Amino acid sequence: MPQPRPAEPGMTLDAVETPALLVDLDAFERNLDRMASLLQGKAARLRPHAKTHKSPPIAKEQIARGAVGACCQKVSEAEILVDGGIADVLISNEIVGATKIARVATLAKRARIGICVDDEGNARDLGRAAVAAGSTIDVLVEIEVGGRRCGVDPGLPAVALAINVAATPGLRFRGLQAYHGSAQHLRDHANRRRAIERAAGLTRETIEALAVAGLDCPVVAGGGTGSLMIDLELGVLNELQAGSYIFMDADYGAAGTTGLATGFENSLTVLSTVMSVPRAGVAICDAGLKAMSFESGPPRIDRPAGVRYAGPSDEHGNLEVPPGATLKLGEKLHLVPGHCDPAVNLYDWYVGHRGNRVARVWPVAARGASA
């Protein structure tokens, strides 16, 4: 059921079957190097998020530049990462259900596996499964620091759960997960900074409360591409989980996280073909709702200048073409997806290119790994 490879190395981009997921390898590698240089001399390590790329070879390139391992959100992603040779994987998420928990416990025999918990019963289930499998699972207690998603309250509730985890056979208490997801995309930088500072304050208080209870907290994990510079400055998190920095997207661009602020560049585009030029001022391309997600807005089109992606249908994109610009039937366009992670999850293949030439085609190995 995987789709055929849309390109082969050596081809020019004109010959790539569209829609296709393109990675500008030069920009991508500059992003990898830029992150390594940002972390140079800092106490924080990088555990980049593989939910963005779903690709063991990319995780390896990150580890080769100093990352301590990978993190991901799903058991199925963790299995694919371990199968692909990643020896240290954190599932930065809660995992519920007997079969999934058993898979985590089994996986922990083959690699160092961490997981997050925010519930005593869930921790007990994980511990039992680990004992049954003969493995040990690293555990981070997730605290709610403003993202209003998973996590126990910071302070005493977190300490109570941590004491519980530390006393559970099969589990090894390793520290805290303190991720503020919604703050990553705040347009107003002062608001974003305030949200991250508040999260860091709650995290620091929890670390102190753990110390009072006699619990070490070697790992303080969280952060994303949008909060990276603030997280580095505040110095509370010591394992950073940025993922999008390798690709970036139109939403991070609009939020001012691309370019000057971080040095990260957009490297990911969806290559699309103009399939109809029905009226003056309008062109239709072959990439719609099944070629990327739109909840963070439509894709950005940088060239030709002024062309705007007005709206999607399932398999089409409606493009506004301003006076003076033209789009010809068959012309290829680079669309910068609104949101990189869900876009990647729609494709079986990455098409890596340098300039106009395809250099490398490799699978999105964990595409669809949502279970």
| Nearer Cβ to a copy of itself (69/337) | 337
> How far apart are CB 99 and a copy of itself at their closest, in Å?
7
Interface residue with a copy of itself, options 8, 9, 12, 15 (CB under 8 A): 15
Cis peptide bond prior to 19, omega within 30° of 0: yes
Ordered alpha helix ranges (H), the chain: 25-39, 50-53, 56-64, 75-83, 98-107, 120-133, 156-166, 189-212, 228-234, 250-254, 340-344
Neighbours of 271 (CB within 10 A): 25
Please list, in sequence order, all residues whose beta carbon lies within 8 angstroms of the beta carbon of residue 366, skipping any fewer than 6 positions away.
50, 54, 55, 72, 76, 77, 80, 81
* Terminal Cα distance for the chain, rounded: 18
Residues, the chain, total? 371
Cis peptide bond prior to 169, omega within 30° of 0: no
Looking at residues 332 to 351 of the shown chain, list those that interact with a copy of itself (rule: CB under 8 A).
339, 341-342, 345-348
Cβ pair 177, 92 in contact under 8 A:
yes
Cβ pair 127, 170 in contact under 8 A:
yes
> How far apart are CB 330 and a copy of itself at their closest, in Å?
5
| Nearer Cβ to a copy of itself (211/329) | 329
> How far apart are CB 339 and a copy of itself at their closest, in Å?
7
Site string for a copy of itself, 59-78 (x = CB under 8 A): --------------xx-x--
Cβ pair 116, 142 in contact under 8 A:
yes
**CA distance linking residue 347 with residue 66, whole number of Å:** 28
> How far apart are CB 338 and a copy of itself at their closest, in Å?
10
> How far apart are CB 43 and a copy of itself at their closest, in Å?
28
> How far apart are CB 37 and a copy of itself at their closest, in Å?
27
Q: What is the DSSP letter of 143?
A: B
Rule CB under 8 A: say whether 286 interacts with a copy of itself: yes
Torsion angle of alpha carbons 357, 359, 363, 364, nearest 10°?
Answer: -70
> How far apart are CB 179 and a copy of itself at their closest, in Å?
10
Residue with tokens 């259900």: 97
Rule CB under 8 A: say whether 160 interacts with a copy of itself: no
Rule CB under 8 A: say whether 97 interacts with a copy of itself: yes
Looking at residues 22 to 51 of the shown chain, list those that interact with a copy of itself (rule: CB under 8 A).
51
Interface residue with a copy of itself, options 150, 261, 325, 359 (CB under 8 A): 150
| Nearer Cβ to a copy of itself (260/328) | 328
Rule CB under 8 A: say whether 363 interacts with a copy of itself: yes
Give the binding-site size for a copy of itself (rule: CB under 8 A).
Answer: 72
> How far apart are CB 38 and a copy of itself at their closest, in Å?
23
Looking at residues 165 to 224 of the shown chain, list those that interact with a copy of itself (rule: CB under 8 A).
181
Cβ pair 308, 301 in contact under 8 A:
yes
Rule CB under 8 A: say whether 148 interacts with a copy of itself: yes
Rule CB under 8 A: say whether 3 interacts with a copy of itself: yes
Looking at residues 291 to 320 of the shown chain, list those that interact with a copy of itself (rule: CB under 8 A).
291, 293-295, 312-316, 318
| Stretch in the footprint of a copy of itself (CB under 8 A) among 26-34, 106-114, 206-214, 283-291 | 283-291
Give the closest residue to 207 by CA, choosing from 198, 222, 220, 224.
Answer: 220
